[in-house]
Amino acid sequence: MKRSIHVQAFVYNEKKDEILIVRNRNLAWAFPGGHVEANQTMEEALASIVKEQTNIDIEIESILHCKERRATWEHVCTFVFRAKPVGEMIATSSDDNIFRVKWIPIPLADDLLPIDQLSLNELVRSEGVLYENYT
């Protein structure tokens, strides 16, 4: 059974009450994120992936949620991190798998994101738990 770790960023712009979302190759809207390579921490992977997918630098604040999916052929754990944008917030993508990047108000995002996502209002209110990296 193949095991993998995925990370996603709930990037929240408090000033405008917007979150950052991406439209991926299967045309679904989602939080920016992807697979953690063997030589990376989750934090390194997430910062790199978000930068590549959106051209936005982030500062990771906490872990908000963990999802686990098991099938006979794979076992995937996805960690959702709360992050804040740092510096320039003009969203563009250099990732071939991302078709669109946008900042969107919470009410509109609720309609675009898949049903299995957490309630965005819960994520906005949640401070999460501390993420510590012991490398």
For the segment 44-94, what is each residue's pLDDT rounded down to a tens digit? 999 999 999 999 999 999 998 888 888 888 899 999 999 999 987 777 777
Report how many domains make up the chain: 1
**What's the gap between Cα 74 and its chain centre?**
21
pTM: 0.84
**Mean pLDDT of all residues in 99-110:** 85
State the Cα–Cα distance between residues 51 and 37, nearest whole angstrom. 16
CATH number of the domain that residue 51 is part of: 3.90.79.10
What is the average pLDDT value for the chain, to the nearest integer? 85
**What's the gap between Cα 96 and its chain centre?**
17
- Give the pLDDT score at 31: 92
**Inter-residue contact 48 to 89 (CB < 8 Å):** no
Map residue 125 onto helix, strand or coil. Answer: helix
Q: Is residue 58 part of a domain?
A: yes
pLDDT above 70: percentage of residues in the chain: 84
Between 66 and 133, the more confident residue is 66
Q: Which domain holds residue 20?
A: 2-126
Residue 8 amino acid letter: Q
Q: Is residue 84 part of a domain?
A: yes
- Give the pLDDT score at 32: 95
How many angstroms separate the Cα of 85 from the Cα of each of 60, 63, 90, 124? 9, 16, 10, 14
Strands 33-35, 29-30: pairing is unpaired
- Give the pLDDT score at 132: 65
